[in-house]
Amino acid sequence: MHSKLHRRRFIGITAAAAGVAALPAVAGTDGLHVWTGTALGARASLRLYHPDSRTAEAAIQRCIAEIGRLERIFSLYRPDSAVSTLNREGAIHSPPFDLVRLLDSARHLHRTTGGIFDMTVQPLWQLHAAHFSQQPVPVDGPAGSALAAALALVGQEAVLVEPDRIAFARPGMALTPNGIAQGYVTDRIAELLRSEGFADVLVDLGEARASGEHPDGTPWRAALADPAGGAPLRKVDLDGALATSAPSGFAFDRAGRFHHIFDPRTGQPAEARPSVSVLAPEATVADALSTAFVQMSTDDIRRTLRVHAGVTVHALTRDGLSEELSSAAG
């Protein structure tokens, strides 16, 4: 495999400071307080306005603690996380409320996207990761029989979710929180800050969510980058959430034929658009819809938008053309 196991991000938040190590909050003369670090394996930042440095710093520390708590639920790389425990054992009793809530959202999004968004594609990821880890590195994908066996383990409807128990209906199933958990954590942090009275906030935890405005009176802004490496496709004012998906974020093979976005109907890497960005009221929804829409036709995206109010989609076609689609405001 030629890249690290994470999604490359195609969202550039203007005025965002580069950096991956956790830093203390920095206050500017305009009352803007900035923290940068990592969350769920992605570069992360918090930007909030408050005239009192101590109040802002205390809020940021609470946000960092909450990010850590949620990572202990959703991380695929921590063997003690709730998701890792569920994947290993096939069931989990007394599950964390946040995992139940996330899976309820995932079930709804699975239904509204016609089954395209599906958290149970993890066996397909595991199969491809193992296959392309062989030496010499294979040129083609996994054998048809292996692919069929992994695909038989895919199906969001086979995840049984109750307040006191989550279980898989079929042995060997596994969840991936990629494609929704970053959005969910972003929402939780944005809501925490809102509950504490912070009105002007930009949370960027792999997906972004903004409220209010920059202290200089301008909107929070985001640049949607060209996945081919060219100039930004466009800049957008951000009042709500933004998420982007692109197949070029990670590929198992050097040629880039076998990427990380799997079609749950076929088990193959999806016939995908180069990039899709979704603006929505909540980052959980934006995250999941961007994952689904990168696989969908324009007509299918339009049908899905009928049941998701206040969503705008900026998408590239396979021919490199740009499309903008919007739902009703709701």
Establish whether 287 is an annotated binding residue: yes
Establish whether 317 is an annotated binding residue: no
Residue 242 forms beta bridges with which residues? 208, 279
Distance, CA of 9 to CA of 227 (rounded, Å): 9
Establish whether 291 is an annotated binding residue: yes
Tell me how far CA of residue 209 lies from CA of 7, 154, 263, 278, 292, in angstroms: 18, 30, 27, 12, 19
Q: Token match 């990761």: residue?
A: 129
Distance, CA of 224 to CA of 282 (rounded, Å): 18
| Helix (H) or strand (E) run with residue 161 in it | strand 159-162
Under 8 Å between Cβ of 124 and 150: yes
The two beta strands, 91-93 and 42-49, are: unpaired
Tell me how far CA of residue 260 lies from CA of 1, 69, 107, in angstroms: 11, 27, 21
Report the binding-site residues: 179, 287, 291
Report the binding-site residues for Mg(2+): 179, 287, 291
